[in-house]
Amino acid sequence: MKPQFKSLENNKSDLSDELVKLCKKGDQKAQLQVYKLYYRPVFSTCMQIVNDPARAEALMHESFILAFENINSYIGDISFSSWIKKFISYELQSN
């Protein structure tokens, strides 16, 4: 983990806020860290919806792609976790 993140390791909210700022600047390493922080809960949500591991994984990946493409619209008024989950619904509606 980068030194700038070490002091934030135990505070997921602060860490994700810092990572989101870096993601907005196009930092791909920060995107990977965000993915690592949130892929389990996002996958779990996808599984609850589609009840198929392969489909849930595809839905999760598409949701992350949409989230990163739209990262500049994240203003921090809700948790990043809640914000990224809205892309699950969007992706389901578009298919």
Structure-block tokens of residue 51: 């009840």
> DSSP assignment of the chain, as one string?
--HHHHTTTT-HHHHHHHHHHHHHTT-HHHHHHHHHHHHHHHHHHHHHHH--HHHHHHHHHHHHHHHHHTGGG--SSS-HHHHHHHHHHHHHHH-
CA angle 39, 54, 45 (to 5 degrees): 40
CATH number at residue 83: 1.10.1740.10
2 found inside a domain:
no
pTM over 0.85: no
Other CB atoms within 10 A of residue 62 CB: 18
Q: Classify residue 4: in a domain, yes or no.
A: no
> Could you tell me the residue range of the domain that residue 37 belongs to?
12-94
For residue range 32-88, list pLDDT tens digits in order. Answer: 999 999 999 999 999 998 999 999 999 999 999 999 999 999 988 888 888 888 888
Q: Is residue 80 part of a domain?
A: yes
Specify if 78 maps to a domain: yes
Task: Decide if 5 is inside a domain.
Answer: no
- Per-residue confidence band for 29, with pLDDT thresholds at 50, 70 and 90: very high
What's the total number of domains in the chain? 1
